[in-house]
A and B are shown apart, each in its own frame.
Chain A
Amino acid sequence: MADIKARVKVPSTAAKGEIIEIKTMIAHDMESGQRKDKSGKVIPRQIINKFTCSLNGKEVFRSDWYTAVSANPYLSFFLRASESGTFDFAWHDDNGSIYKASAPITVS
């Protein structure tokens, strides 16, 4: 899965104190470890188990995911616009990989 691609949707500008919606999606099979292939062998679990969102290096939201999260996980949540800067998003894979995306915001 070297070609994992994440998508994020963040408003580029917001008024200070305004509540903004953040939408994220990442292409990932979220292999649950509960499926078998044709030969009857269990396909090993490989999911994204943690998602974090930081603003200017400080974590502002985190989520733990389990095997019931659908493939190609979609997540939306809210933040109160506090300061201009960069949002960094990170998806943590069972295999140790961390997939990243970022988005700028200008708060006035």
Chain B
Amino acid sequence: MSDRALGRAGLTRRQILIGTAGIGLMAMPRWVQATPAEAAAAIAKITGGAKPAAGRITLRLPQIAENGNSVQFAVAVDSPMSEADHVKSIHVIAEENPFPQVATFYLSPANGKAEVTMRMRLAKTQTVRAIAVMSNGSAYEAQQEVKVTIGGCGG
């Protein structure tokens, strides 16, 4: 239930406060978590079964996320981004989220530089993986664990 929905319903502020208490208690999502095996299957699909190599791709993430609702990540791939040699796609996978795929970015020489920054939700402490698929079909991977904590008040 969003605040906006509450607002539209024209509730009084008293009801809003009562409702807010409810939201606080239900804020933690009842997520069914995916398994790293499912994430591996998703990655195999991306790379056509080939095992991605290490190197050329950098994944920047905080080691500890203050709140799993918003974890900033940046993925950069070392590539000339020329017609002959460029990054075709970047895939970000959160292994133990209920749905492991986070986002896919489709690139071309028009980008000039293969780097994207975004913010994602992480359901729990887990390993985040970034995979780059190059124009020649090869794939590279980087991964990092992010500790997701919920403070003493649970938000």
Contact = CB atoms under 8 A, between A and B. Distances in A.
In the complex, A touching B (Cβ < 8 A):
yes
Interface of A: 19, 29, 31-32, 34-38, 43, 55, 60-71, 73-80, 82
A37 B19 CA distance: 10
A67 to B, nearest CB: 5
B121 A65 contact: no
A15 B102 CA distance: 34
A78 B120 contact: no
Nearest to B71: A70
A5 to B, nearest CB: 13
Interface stretch (B54-62, B93-101, B129-137, B138-146): B93-101
A74 B106 CA distance: 17
B36 interface: no
Interface of B: 1-2, 4, 19, 22-23, 26, 29-31, 69-71, 81, 94, 97-99, 101-122
B29 A35 contact: yes
A35 B98 CA distance: 12
Contacts of B102: 66, 68-69
Given A63-B105, A67-B99, A80-B110, A38 B26 contact: yes
Contacts of A65: 103
A55 B106 CA distance: 15
B71 to A, nearest CB: 8
B70 A70 contact: yes
B29 A66 contact: no
A63 B26 contact: no
